[in-house]
Amino acid sequence: MALQATEQGSRPPASDADTDPARRPLGPGGMGGSKRAAVAGLPDDALVEILSRLPAKFLCRSKCVSKAWCDLIADRLRCRKLPLTLEGFFYGCVYESCNEDRDDLSSDSWDESGSEGNDDDGSEDDKEGGSANNGKGGSEDGDEGGECKGEKSSCHACGHFINLLGRSVPLVDPSFSVLRKQPGIKNFTLLDSCNGLLLFGQAWCSRFSATTSYIVYNPATEHWVPVPSSGFSSNPLEYGEDCDDDVEESCVLTCLIFDPAISSHFQLIEFCHNPGVALVLAYSSETERWGDRPRERRRWKKGGKWDLHKTMSSMRGSTFFNKMLHLIVSPYSIGPELIAAIDGKGKTRKVIQWVENRGFPVFVGQSKGLLHCLSVSGHPDGDSCHMTELSIWVLEDYDAEEWNLKHTVSFLELFGKKSCQFGSDYNVTTIHPDQNLVFFIQHWDYKLISYDMDRKEVCALRTVGCDYGIITPYAPYFSETPVLSKKH
């Protein structure tokens, strides 16, 4: 059965007293001693299964029931059972303070370690978190993201959350009021997510160049931490390169790595492209430092093995699997695409070959503990602009690199069109981690749709609008992490 979605705010939220088990009135005499004993006597595995069905808000409150419950919820070895349910998607998450001019974003509101400065707080709208939504997003507007009716306002927040579970209880705050109230945060844009944490970028512009610092945020606990800029600049002159109107533009792709079953620390991998310069930089929350991978430059530099600019601009995403970041890589020379596995230090640990007769790969993800790749094919002359069908491949044996065909669907069945072009007509959003579901964005009507491989059914979930930005899946992580030291 295809998942039905409701955007947070599309119906009046139930009161806490109605929905919170901890605040719901008990029957006469309250809970009897036998019921208390039955709950206390549940084995841990059964209790985890019960707790995994609670929304993030109530699971956090359940940690206050007893020390045993708190330890169980925070247990890294069991926490995989709690956050791996895909609860929804964030999209359109962009914020700019109306009190700051764009040219002033290079002010020293954060020092090099990422600590807060002494700037005054934002406007009254920011403090209240109400009208800061500007009529878009948040939990009160009920807007579907809808149509494009002119240029979007650059002030305040525009955040949306699509709830796949159909609960009326607010799961998260898509306006991120906790972050907007911070005096040192002037702007942020959603970039990525991984195992319950979100990655935001903050632009710092000057007259000659631009850099990006970051925020890592847990929506379930509303804890966060700033990450300083790596120092990469968009100005090619800083790297001894001459400006040329014909060269490719500078760009940065930053990915978040977080595996709570292994460590409470996270890493950022930053792929940086400038005319003539290709860098792979890595940040660790454990060392709180950025590191360079000089040896990786040989793979990505102009004339090397891999085309960094084409890889970054192809919009084919990345996935965290088997303790490494996996992404589809475009070669410089003529040849098949590759899938590179990169560790938390930015080092390429494995290169998985892709055979051209399987089609052109457009997305890599993980589902049911296996790596999946989606490819398009069907046009007689191999023109990727007019493919006619989508294939889902699964890597049954990771070490042997044996890809097996899992499913095939025509674009006519999927999109109602005989042929489509990846990137222009549609994008793959994600593959469900536990079910045979794939999510897409249709660019002609800006709808998020799901495709059920078992039932061969297409379900329209939400119209997100042309300014949806990044759509990222969200599977909540409920435990408090010492690394995310700043609290609401």
Q: What is the pLDDT of residues 454-465, one digit of tens each?
A: 999 999 999 998
Give yes or no for residue 269 having a pLDDT over 80. yes
| 331 CB-near residues (< 8 Å, 6+ apart) | 305, 306, 307, 337, 338
Inform me whether the pLDDT recorded for 244 exceeds 90: no
CA 486 to chain centre: 21
Predicted pLDDT of residue 385: 61
Q: Where is pLDDT greater, at 9 or 72?
A: 72
Alpha helices by DSSP H, listed for 406-488, are 411-415
AA identity, residue 435: Q
Residue 291's pLDDT band (cuts 50, 70, 90): confident
Report whether pLDDT(133) > 70.
Answer: no
For the segment 367-395, the average pLDDT, to the nearest whole number, is 84
Closest CA to 95 of 38, 156, 34: 156
pLDDT of residue 24: 42
What CA–CA distance (Å, rounded) separates 282 from 267? 7
In the structure, what pLDDT confidence band is assigned to residue 234 with cuts at 50, 70 and 90?
A: low
- Rounded to an integer, the average pLDDT of 82-111 is 63
* Residue 287: CB atoms within 10 Å: 11
Q: Is pLDDT of 32 > 60?
A: no
pLDDT above 90: residue 4 = no
The predicted structure's pLDDT at residue 213: 92
The confidence band for 468, taking pLDDT boundaries of 50, 70 and 90, is confident
Looking at per-residue pLDDT, the higher value among 246 and 192 belongs to 192
Higher pLDDT, 284 or 300: 284
- pLDDT band at residue 90, thresholds of 50, 70 and 90? very high
Residue 86: the pLDDT is 87
- Looking at residue 431, what is its pLDDT? 96
Q: What is the predicted pLDDT for the residue at 31? A: 45
pLDDT at residue number 469: 86
Stretch 370-382: mean pLDDT: 82
- pLDDT beyond 80 at 293: no
**pLDDT-wise least confident of 17-26, 165-174, 404-413:** 17-26
> Exposed, middle or buried by CB within 10 Å (0-12, 13-18, 19+), for 398?
middle
Residue type for position 56: A
Contact in structure between 404 and 393 (CB atoms under 8 Å): yes
Residues 6 or more apart from 145 whose CB is under 8 A from it?
7, 91, 92, 160, 446, 462, 463, 464, 465, 468
Per-residue pLDDT at 238 exceeds 70:
no
What count of other Cβ atoms lies within 10 Å of the Cβ of residue 239? Answer: 14
Residue with more model confidence, 423 or 157: 423
Taking only the tens place, the pLDDT of each residue in 316-367 is 889 999 999 999 998 877 778 899 999 999 899 999 989 878 899 999 999 9
User: How far is residue 299's CA from residue 353's CA, in Å, rounded to a whole number?
Assistant: 16
Sorting pLDDT into bands at 50, 70 and 90, what band is 110? Answer: very low
- State the pLDDT at residue 122: 36
Position 118 scores a pLDDT of 37
Query: Which neighbouring-strand residues pair with 474?
Result: 88
pLDDT for 201: 93
